[in-house]
Structure 1
Amino acid sequence: MFLSQEADQFQLPVNETGFTREELEELLSFLKSNEPVSPNSGSEGSTRAVYSPDERKKRRMKSNRESARRSRWRKRMHLENITDEVNRLSVENQQLKNRLSTVINQYHIVWRENEQLRSESEALWAKLLDLYWTLATMQSR
């Protein structure tokens, strides 16, 4: 597993929604506050804090940095998984090559033995035929 100093600062999202921890806490505070949340984003009846443009920019930049950090982490994990899979498949491939080599060697041994047995069989058939001819000649006299 690839670990870096950056991993110590990394904050995993609670449920991969892409919300930062602060945004989730803000949403939870709305839910806990028993006040109905208005569907409009206007300031009337809304309990949402109004942020200055600089604050919104800072929050957005922080959110983007955290999102980029999560993205890099996912990319590292994906690369690590692929690397592990390549290593596993390389080992499996080598084992299959070894098995194939063994089977090919056994095939050659059996093939040579089979050729030898065919040759012996032909020689024995030739001897048997000679014996039949000799026997037939002796009986015809």
Structure 2
Amino acid sequence: MKYMLIWRATDEAMAGMASTDFATMLETVGRYNDELIRAGVLIAAEGLDDAAEGVVVDHSAEPPVVTDGPYGETKELFGGFYILSVASKEEAVEWAKRAPITGPGFKTEIRRITTIDEFPQDNEWVQKERAWREANGQL
């Protein structure tokens, strides 16, 4: 099963992390990544650029409204993610507990990633996506 570990932090926690020595942070996160790689569970891991550089597309109006970041009333920012291939949600939780970015204001959300096999296989759009994935080596 695949699970996404989503790193989230409050504005205050992100500001506090900005004072951390970058080389130290790279080493700390690098060691965690190495553990995931050696365990054979890491599929992908990426950080995200500053929220001030992003935009929000709000679909509650027609046409959708685009707003530049930072986002209004942000309680927690989505700062990065990992995608792991593990046997269970419990295993994903254990990896999340070992995350190197910790302290007040930091959280890891864990969500199972659904697969194309979980959708009706006789559906035209599922069949098209499956064909695309096969052609691109994703199945």
Normalising by the smaller structure, the TM-score range is: under 0.3
Q: If the length of structure 1 is used for normalisation, what is the TM-score?
A: 0.19
Structure ranking higher on relative contact order (CA contacts 8 Å, 6+ apart): 2
Q: If the length of structure 2 is used for normalisation, what is the TM-score?
A: 0.19
Task: Choose between structure 1 and 2: higher strand proportion.
Answer: 2
Whichever of the two has the greater Rg, that structure is: 1
Task: Choose between structure 1 and 2: higher helix proportion.
Answer: 1
